[in-house]
Structure 1
Amino acid sequence: MTNIPPQMWDKLPPGATTSAPPPPAPTYGQEVRRRLWANKPAVVSIVFIIALVIAAFFGPMFSPHTYFKQELKLANIPPFFETYSVTDSAGDTTRFFLNASNFNLYQVDDDGQVLGLLRGGRKDILKKSQPYEFGDQALTLDYSSLPARVMLEDGTELRPSGWKWNRTYLFGTDQLGRDILVRQLYGAQISLTVAFVATLVNFFIGVFYGGIAGYIGGRVDAVMMRFVEIISTIPLTLYVVLLMVVFDSGLLSIIIAIGSVFWVDMARIVRGQILGLKSQDYVAAARTMGASPARILTKHLLPNSIGPIIVTLTMLIPSAIFIESFMSFIGLGVTPPLASWGSLTSEAVETLRAYPHQLFFPAAAISLTMFAFNFLGDGLRDALDPKMRG
């Protein structure tokens, strides 16, 4: 036992404690935010989705191009190209690039801006060549063997001077000379609008349909869920195709078709949650205090099921985007000149071998968006789970 002198003992003032009070425990919302921000794939997905929405709805405003204007003489221009330069005796230099897929020459400036199609002389079909003149300098485009070559007067091949990014059309142009970037952004508008509106409709129908079935139970639940099973037995894609044929093609038809059948998964999940929660003590207490079934459902049961609902809602968005893209791909989507990611993919498939960049951009957009929403759904599932701590 330690001997402490009495003069070292002091009385604590009234109300004082021997240690600092513990910090307040974090709330459920704070824990959810902390776990969500700790999930790096989910955070990256949130940033990507926000950037995609901003670019889709505001990006076309800053572009000099439109999604419908056609420039056939500038068709199928790639997003980057090898440039050539030729100087005549007067010292004037002309820069151009060769589109090896359609055997055309396009003039460009030092920054990579496309100035227009170069007009050459009469094509020699037999020799597969076409002459060009730049001042007193003559060139010949020889496409008798692939890849095509630009030949000087002395028979030597003109070598490219370097690669340039297409500053006029950052993603290139399609087969009708329309800017792919602007059409990509308009396609994102349509795909995201269809996905969000259809998912919002599914949210309200699925949540309240499944909530009513789970809370009432008995014969009402049996009848309501048999109806859900009937819809589920028909393949979703086939059902949407049939509805699209009835309603004709168009943006509104896609939303109606997807929204009318896409809610069954949400209804099943909500019903399962309600069946597990309605036997809890706080529900019995609310019922004893005279709360109506509608109040119990909306104020007690559904708020406690919000975690699985949000996760399911997040997972439904990429599915809706994929279905809309598939409908547009097979020709049941938006009508030209409107474009969605599916219609852009369908148009690009026809020229895949010659112009692969036309397929790359819409396919990459669909893939990255689906990845982002799936990663976000996984992050929300882990963040909203009270068992996931640390």
Structure 2
Amino acid sequence: MNQWTPISSEETQGNQPTRKSLTYWQDVWRRLRQNVMAMTGLVMILIISGLAIFGPMFSPYSYSEQNLQLANIAPQIEITKITDKDYVFVHNEYRLVSVTADGKFIGAPEVVDENKINRYITYNIDGKEVKFDYSLAMSNRKKGQKVTEEEENADMKTKYDIFVDGEKIDKYDTKIVLNKTNIMGTDTLGRDVWTRVLYGARISLTVGLVASVVNLCVGVVYGGIAGYEGGKVDNIMMRIVDIISSVPLLLIVILLMVIIEPGLKTIIITIGMVYWVGMARLVRGQVLSLKEQEFVLAARALGVTKSKIIIKHLIPNAIGPIVVSMMMSIPSAIFTEAFLSFIGLGVSAPEASWGTLANDALGGIRSYPYQLIIPSIAIALTMFAFNFLGDGLRDALDPRLRK
């Protein structure tokens, strides 16, 4: 007699899984997506990376291309209508630049006569004689009086005369438009700021990538060996780490500059020598807490080699702190590169770096503040993006926060 009978479908409802089972990394991605700031940082990193890789390809300028006729022109400009179809931009450096009605620069018009003593320049614009008289801009200054840049620019904008075919323009028809030729303006040599910022992003992201690769290849392996071996080997290896970390970064850069010329190569070598130290200490601490676990003892009993235990067992179990530390080291490396370039120990001219852009802008910070603001914003946004993503990864990889 058969004593087995099939159960009904109602009796099996309580045994059905409530949701699909997720792997560790699927669960990390699920929790990371719930973190708004982390996803914002990830999107910002993707946008910055895309602009750095593909942006210069679509720019009509190179990072070193100069046009002194269009030097120190802001992203937003005030243009003056002198005839029915002719517009000019009155530059702070006492000259006129032809421009279209929508803000696209045509270039410097032909100079017919220039008198620096009487302070006027005569141009030929579309067959018309246009005289730009800026003598009033300095007529009220006392001899030897020191004038600030703000006062000089204010004088320039309010005390000049324009004559078209000998007839003075009494009332200027002006309007504010965006700079359609150089959307982020130009620097003191007439180079496109936007293009140079994009090239600077390439350098900064390259330095950040080098820092993360060095951390992964050197710091993780070095710390794993030191933590697993312990004893004298650990003591010797960590004393080497202490010696390296005790030498100031700036001193290392200066010493390398004696041997190697300043540039991106020097910064990469410096980061390769120094930035793995923190990761090595972190991994060593993680390995020390993991190497006495049962799964490591089981691997030893099965005859697994030390290298395989470190690479296949210990490091994967410490991957959470490793990923977070690696992500946090990227903005630190980017800021280090910007700082070194700012003080003249990094990328040299004419290469573009966010640090060199900020340094070049210091001389005209009052007259042309956009030259300093734009690279500063680029540095801040990049560092915020990586920090937001790093904080999100720290929370997502923490097993104590799993729900």
TM-score above 0.5:
yes
Supply the distance in 2 between the matched residues of 1:137 and 1:158 (Cα, whole angstroms): 15
SS in 2 for 1:93: coil
Q: Which residue of structure 1 aligns with residue 61 of structure 2?
A: 65
* CA contact 1:240–1:258 (8 Å) conserved in 2: no
2:155 to 147, 154, 163: 147
Equivalent of 1:202, from 194, 211, 215?
Answer: 215
Q: What pairs with 1:1-16 in structure 2 (closer than 5 Å)?
A: 13-14=6-7, 16=9
1:54 pairs with one of 47, 50, 53: 50
Tell me the distance in 1 between the aligned counterparts of 2:387 and 2:132.
54
Show the counterpart of 2:318.
305
Q: Does 1:93 align with 2:93?
A: no
The answer (yes or no) to whether the contact 1:199–1:313 under 8 Å persists in 2 is: yes
Q: CA deviation at 1:343?
A: 1.2
1:217 aligns to what? Answer: 230
RMSD: 2.2
Cα distance change on mapping 1:56 and 1:155 into 2, 3 Å: same
Distance 1:136 1:114, change over 3 A: closer
Amino acid at match of 1:31: D
Q: 1:273 to 1:15 in 2, by over 3 A?
A: farther
Q: Is the 8 A contact 2:122 2:130 kept in 1?
A: no
Task: Confirm or deny that 1:162 pairs with 2:155.
Answer: no
Q: CA deviation digits over 1:21-54, x for unaligned, max 9?
A: 0234433222211111111111111111111111
Instruction: Report the CA distance between 1:15 and its aligned residue.
Output: 6.2
2:367 paired residue number: 354
In the TM superposition, what is the alpha-carbon distance from 1:353 to its structure 2 partner? 1.6
> Which one of 88, 108, 112 corresponds to residue 99 of structure 2?
108
Shift of 1:284: 0.8
Q: Deviations over 1:133-173 (max 9, x none)?
A: 76377654442373323435687754353211111111111
What secondary structure sits across from 1:272 in the alignment? helix
Counterpart amino acid of residue 88 in structure 2? F
Q: Distance in 2 between matches of 1:158 and 1:229?
A: 72
1:122 to 101, 106, 114: 114
Q: Tell me if structure 1 keeps the 8 A contact 2:253–2:266.
A: no
Match of 2:72 in 1: 76
Rounded to whole Å, the distance in 1 between the matches of 2:66 and 2:253 is 32
- State the percentage of identical aligned residues: 48
Amino acid at match of 1:193: T
Q: Which residue of 1 aligns with 2:271?
A: 258
Structure 2 gaps, min length 5: 139-151
Q: How many residues align?
A: 373
- Letter paired with 2:289: G
Q: What letter is aligned with 1:322?
A: F
Deviation at 1:251, TM superposition (A): 1.8
Q: 1:169 to 1:290 in 2, by over 3 A?
A: same
User: Are the counterparts in 2 of residues 244 and 257 from structure 1 also a CA contact under 8 Å?
Assistant: no
2:260 corresponds to: 247
Q: 1:29 maps to which residue?
A: 25
Residue 6 of structure 1 is matched in structure 2 by none
Secondary structure of the equivalent of 2:78? strand
Aligned-residue offset at 1:299: 0.6
1:386 offset after TM fit, Å? Answer: 1.1
CA distances 1:248-282 after superposition (whole Å, capped 9, x unpaired)? 21222221111111110000000000001111111
Evaluate the alpha carbon distance shift between residue 158 and residue 241 of structure 1 in structure 2; reply closer, same or farther with a 3 A threshold.
Answer: farther
Runs of 4 or more off by more than 6 Å in structure 1? none
Cα contact 1:107–1:116 (8 A) shared by 2: yes
* Residue number among 205, 217, 231 corresponding to 2:244 in the alignment: 231
Q: Is the 8 A contact 1:198 1:256 kept in 2?
A: no
In the alignment, is the contact (CA less than 8 A) between 2:120 and 2:132 conserved in 1? Answer: no
Residue ranges of structure 1 left out of the alignment (5+ in a row): 1-11
Matched, 1:40 2:36: yes
Q: Which secondary structure does the structure 2 equivalent of 1:115 belong to?
A: strand
The answer for the alignment partner of 2:149 in structure 1 is none
> Is it true that 1:371 corresponds to 2:362 in the alignment?
no
Q: From the superposition, tell whether residues 387 and 136 of structure 1 become closer, same or farther in structure 2 (CA, over 3 Å).
A: same
Task: State the one-letter code of the partner of 2:7.
Answer: P
